[in-house]
Amino acid sequence: MKNEMKEIQNSTIEFYASATKIHALPPPVPAQQAMPEWWYKAEQTVNGGLWEDGLPPGGTFKKCQPFTDALRMGYIIPLWQDFAYGHRNNDDDDPDIIMNWGRGVYPFEDQDRTRAGDIEDPVVKKGWDSWKDIEGVEEGIYPDASFSFSNPWIIRTPPGYSCLFTAPINGEDPRLRLFTGVVQTDTYFNYINFFFGIRKGAPLQGFFKKGMPLVQVIPFKREEWTLTTNSIKVDSPEFNHHMNVVREFSTHIEGGYKKHHGCPVVFK
C-alpha cells in the first residue's frame, strides 16, 4: 500500500529590494542551489567505500535523506556584503566587539539611529538586556555582542502563507547564533531584520563574506491543527499501513526511504 499524494500546488514567493540597490545584491536562491561545500565533499559511505567481512560499507549522513531534505527546504538569503568583526580590548572573557564593513564601522556615532533596510549601514546594535534572558543566550554569546543584520529584502507570499526564517538548517556558521522567527509575509510587506550574536568560543576576529548563506526562508501554509494520541491495534488500517512500509523498506539495502518517501516539495 503506497501513500496517495495530493497534487502539489505551485505557489510563488517574491523577493523585493530597492531599485537602487538590487543590482549589487546576491539574489536569494532555492536552498538546493546553495548546498554547503562540505556536503558535496563528504563521502557517501564509511570505510572508504570498502566492503568488510562480505558486507557493504555503511552510509554516512549524506545518505540520510531527511537530513538532506532539511538542507534543501525553502530558499537561502545570501549575505549581501562583506563584514569583519574583531575586539578592541585584551579581555577575551568580556571582549569589546566591533563590526566593520566596506563603508562603516560599529559602534556608530549615534547608536540610536535606525537603519533598517539601509545597505549603507547594514548592521545595528540590539539591546542585550532585552535578549539575554533567553535560555542559553547569556551563557553562549559574548556579552553585548548582539546585533541585527538589516536585511535589504522584502518578502511576499500568497494569502494564508507565512515564512519561517532561521539559520541554514544543519549548516549554520559556527560563529553566529542567528535567532529564528516566523513572519506573516502575506500581509507584512516590510523589511525583516535578523538578530544575531557572536558565539563564545568563536575566534575574536574574522570575516563574514558576501554571498555566504545567511538565512533559510521556508514558506508554509497557515492551518489549524489538532493533536491526538492513538494506539495501533493489530490488523487495524494503521497497523497494516505500518507493516507495508516496513516490508517495503526492508527490501532495500540502501536508498529505500529516498525512493519511496523523499521530500516531494520542489522549490525553484
The domain segmentation of the chain, as residue ranges, is 9-224
Is residue 19 over pLDDT 60? yes
- Contact between residue 75 and residue 27 where contact means Cβ atoms under 8 Å apart: no
- DSSP one-letter string for 54-75: TBPPPB-GGG-HHHHHHHHSSE
CATH code for the domain defined by 9-224: 2.70.40.10
pLDDT tens-digit profile of 59-89?
788 888 899 999 999 999 999 989 988 887 7
Sign of CA dihedral 21, 77, 178, 145: negative
For 196, what's the count of Cα atoms within 13 Å in the CB-facing half-sphere? 25
Q: What is the C-alpha separation between 265 and 236, in angstroms, rounded?
A: 30
pTM of the model: 0.84
Distances, alpha carbon 165 to alpha carbons 109, 140, 233, 238, in Å: 31, 21, 40, 35
Q: Where are the alpha helices (DSSP H) in the chain?
A: 37-41, 65-72, 137-140, 237-250, 256-261
pLDDT tens-digit profile of 97-153?
888 877 655 554 444 344 433 445 677 777 666 677 788 777 788 777 778 889 999
